[in-house]
């Protein structure tokens, strides 16, 4: 089941919300059980064959967590190693085994047969979420954990398919807080409004960009203007697609009274690549930083080791997205960008001069172009396609005027660019009081205006919702759900 469907919006969500608050009046545990059941249904409706994998993963990880917590004073690191290995083997088997077979075949010239494996949707997300719990349990950040709460944490339907990747301390205390099980009109209003904005991002912007701009990169060897404009459209589409999903997840969860942290904060307003990673898929960035980069030593062992750690973290981060060398190259490019940025910073350390406004604009443009070039690999199904687009961007495929786009295509491109570059994001509009730090991180906006439950916002949200309902039958899948 997907958020952008009639069945979710008009059947699943109303039933689950009603059931949750009805049961919460009797007993919070029943409400949690109801949400677990709803989450399993939501997940199983993608494909019921995924359910045993999810349930096995949750059960074994819960037992592993208890195992690590038992007599934790002794710090049995091997218990953590075994538990994490289980998760990595599970992920590796379902997601990467065919990738390795293909790679071995390519290198050795063998023709080893591929395995007929079903890739469970969201496996990368629920695996990483649970690895974080295991690590935190080992470090003593968890004292005890109830099975029902753990089960809901690992399977919670708003984020199981495409994140955000949550840490236990961000959600488990909320499950334990009895006050959250009371109906709150404010949570409903904010939750529904954020959900509608996310739905609008997905259906009205991302999907329209996808359906109108695809001819630009349809050719095997796109020309100069086609390649640049096509990649610009893809860059914007990806943002609206994924951040739309995250907004919907945040909004839905808020209706139940549980707050999920933000996952995007106007990433294309970033002034450096490290700034970009503090704004794009924030939960994954934090996971990689906390559980990989820092574990590798971070920046504590000198510059060279720091660069190595950055590269390793980003390469693995790339591989996390998919079993394809294009994702590895994409991650590697970002690792390289980060190394270059830190190297540049070191060189500039002694300069006292404050950056001018012009240099800030230049940094922003440069960061955006670098990110866009890296998306070429992220988007491409194979390396040859990626190099064909890069060749087009470099002018290697010639230049010709674009004749395949209509007014609507240019219109949606301009609108989406204005929103991404110059308008406040969902967090700034709806959650600025709760996420004060994000407001200061974000930058230029053409206007400022916090959401409040008034007539103007009511009309806007109602109109966007109606337009979304009218667009549902043309809805496309979420790009990030495949990871």
Partner 1 sequence: MPNSDTMTTQSAPDSLRRYFWTVGLTALAVLIATVTTNYVVDPYLIHQWDTKLVQRLSPAQQKIMPWAKTYAVYRYRPEVVYLGSSRTEIGLPTDAQLFAGKRVFNLAVKGGSFGDAVNMLRHTTVFHRPEIVVWGLDYGNQFKEENGNSDFIPALVAKGPSYPIWRTLLNIKRSASMDMTEESLKVLSGFSEQKCRSQLATYGHKSSQCLEHIMRDEGGTAKAFDKVMQKNKPSGNPLDVQATLQLLDRVTDDYCRQGTIFRLYLQPVHALAELSYWATHQEDLDNWKRSLVTVIDARRRQGCDIRLVDFSGFNRITSEEIPQSTGHENMQYYWEHSHYRSEVGQIMLEQLFRKDRLEVAGDFGVELTGETIEQHLSDFRKKRSEYITRHPRETSNMTP
**Min CB(203)–partner 1 separation in Å:** 9
Q: Indicate the length of the chain as a whole number.
A: 483
- Smaller CB separation from partner 1, 156 or 465: 465
Footprint of partner 1 on 263-322 (CB under 8 A): none
218 touches partner 1 (CB under 8 A): no
Footprint of partner 1 on 360-379 (CB under 8 A): none
Give which of 333, 310, 336 is closest to 380, Cα–Cα.
Answer: 333
**Min CB(22)–partner 1 separation in Å:** 19
DSSP tag of 166: -
Stretch that binds partner 1, among 188-196, 280-288, 366-374, 390-398 (CB under 8 A): 188-196
**Min CB(188)–partner 1 separation in Å:** 8
* DSSP code string of 70-118: TTGGG--HHHHHHHHHHHHHHHIIIIIHHHHHHHHHHHH---PPPP---
Q: For partner 1, what does the binding mask look like between residues 17 and 46, x meaning CB under 8 A?
A: ------------------------------
Is residue 424 within 8 Å of residue 449, measured between CB atoms? Answer: yes
**Min CB(385)–partner 1 separation in Å:** 21
Choose, by CB under 8 A, the member of 116, 186, 356, 403 that binds partner 1.
186
Choose, by CB under 8 A, the member of 30, 96, 147, 188 that binds partner 1.
188
- Smaller CB separation from partner 1, 12 or 99: 12
Residues 6+ apart with CB under 8 A from 295: none
**Min CB(465)–partner 1 separation in Å:** 4
d(CA 224, CA 222): 7
Distance of CA 113 to the CA centre of its chain: 33
Q: Where are the alpha helices (DSSP H) in 201-324?
A: 207-213, 224-255, 273-277, 282-288, 303-321
Stretch that binds partner 1, among 65-73, 248-256, 273-281, 446-454 (CB under 8 A): 446-454
Q: Is the dihedral of CA 476, 282, 423, 357 positive or negative?
A: negative
Q: For partner 1, what does the binding mask look like between residues 456 and 475, x meaning CB under 8 A?
A: -xxx-xxx-xxx-xxx-xx-
d(CA 402, CA 220): 16
Stretch that binds partner 1, among 118-126, 165-173, 301-309, 449-457 (CB under 8 A): 449-457
185 touches partner 1 (CB under 8 A): yes
d(CA 241, CA 202): 5
- Smaller CB separation from partner 1, 211 or 299: 211
Distance of CA 413 to the CA centre of its chain: 22
281 assigned to active site: no
Q: Is the dihedral of CA 26, 30, 34, 35 positive or negative?
A: positive
Q: What is the SS3 assignment for 42? A: helix
455 touches partner 1 (CB under 8 A): yes
219 touches partner 1 (CB under 8 A): no
Phi-psi region of 298 (alpha: psi -120 to 50; beta: other; left: phi over 0): left
Spot the catalytic one: 168, 321, 334, 342.
Answer: 321
Choose, by CB under 8 A, the member of 90, 189, 216, 282 that binds partner 1.
189
- Residue 300 burial by CB count (10 A; 0-12/13-18/19+): exposed, middle or buried? exposed
DSSP tag of 206: I
13 touches partner 1 (CB under 8 A): no
Give which of 285, 329, 310, 305 is closest to 441, Cα–Cα.
Answer: 285
- Smaller CB separation from partner 1, 106 or 434: 434
d(CA 264, CA 285): 11
Count of residues that interact with partner 1, criterion CB under 8 A: 26
**Min CB(206)–partner 1 separation in Å:** 14
- Smaller CB separation from partner 1, 28 or 211: 211
- Smaller CB separation from partner 1, 188 or 421: 188
Stretch that binds partner 1, among 112-120, 265-273, 438-446, 453-461 (CB under 8 A): 453-461
| Residues annotated as catalytic (active site), given as ranges | 321
Site residues (CB under 8 A) for partner 1? 6, 185-186, 188-189, 192-193, 196, 452-455, 457-459, 461-463, 465-467, 469-471, 473-474
């Amino acid at each position: 089941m997907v958020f952008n469907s009639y069945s979710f919006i008009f059947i699943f969500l109303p039933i689950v919300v009603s059931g949750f608050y009805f049961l919460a009046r009797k007993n919070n545990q029943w409400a949690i059980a109801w949400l677990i059941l709803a989450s399993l249904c939501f997940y199983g409706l993608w494909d019921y064959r995924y359910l045993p994998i999810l349930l096995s993963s949750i059960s074994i990880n819960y037992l592993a967590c208890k195992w690590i917590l038992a007599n934790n004073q002794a710090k049995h690191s091997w218990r953590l190693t075994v538990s994490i290995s289980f998760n990595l083997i599970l992920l590796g088997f379902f997601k990467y085994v065919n990738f390795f077979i293909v790679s071995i075949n390519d290198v050795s010239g063998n023709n080893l047969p591929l395995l007929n494996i079903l890739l469970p949707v969201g496996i990368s997300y629920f695996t990483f979420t649970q690895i974080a719990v295991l690590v935190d349990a080992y470090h003593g950040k968890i004292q005890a954990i109830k099975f029902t709460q753990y089960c809901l944490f690992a399977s919670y339907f708003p984020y199981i398919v495409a994140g955000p990747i949550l840490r236990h301390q961000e959600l488990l205390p909320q499950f334990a807080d009895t006050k959250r099980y009371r109906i709150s009109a404010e949570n409903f209003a904010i939750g529904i409004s954020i959900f509608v904005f996310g739905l609008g991002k997905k259906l009205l912007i991302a999907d329209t960009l996808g359906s109108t701009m695809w001819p630009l990169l349809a050719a095997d060897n796109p020309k100069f203007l086609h390649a640049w404009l096509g990649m610009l459209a893809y860059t914007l589409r990806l943002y609206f697609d994924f951040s739309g999903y995250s907004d919907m997840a945040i909004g839905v969860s808020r209706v139940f009274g549980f707050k999920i942290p933000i996952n995007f904060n106007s990433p294309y307003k970033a002034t450096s690549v490290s700034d970009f990673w503090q704004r794009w898929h924030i939960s994954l960035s934090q996971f990689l930083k906390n559980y990989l980069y820092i574990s590798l030593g971070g920046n504590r062992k000198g510059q060279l080791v720091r660069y190595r750690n950055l590269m390793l973290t980003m390469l693995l981060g790339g591989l996390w997205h998919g079993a394809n060398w294009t994702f590895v190259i994409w991650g590697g490019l970002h690792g390289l960008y980060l190394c270059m940025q830190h190297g540049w910073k070191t060189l500039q350390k002694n300069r006292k001069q404050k950056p001018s406004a012009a240099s800030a604009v230049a940094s922003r443009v440069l960061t955006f172009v670098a990110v866009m070039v890296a998306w070429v690999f992220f988007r491409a199904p194979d390396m040859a396609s990626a190099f064909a687009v890069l060749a087009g961007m470099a002018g290697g495929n010639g230049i010709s005027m674009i004749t395949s786009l209509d007014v609507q295509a240019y219109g949606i491109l301009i609108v989406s660019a204005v929103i991404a570059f110059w308008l406040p994001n969902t967090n700034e509009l709806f959650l600025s009081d709760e996420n004060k730090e994000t407001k200061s991180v974000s930058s230029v906006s053409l206007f400022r205006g916090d959401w409040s439950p008034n007539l103007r916002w009511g009309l806007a949200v109602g109109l966007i919702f109606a337009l979304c309902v009218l667009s549902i039958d043309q809805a496309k899948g979420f790009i990030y759900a495949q990871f």
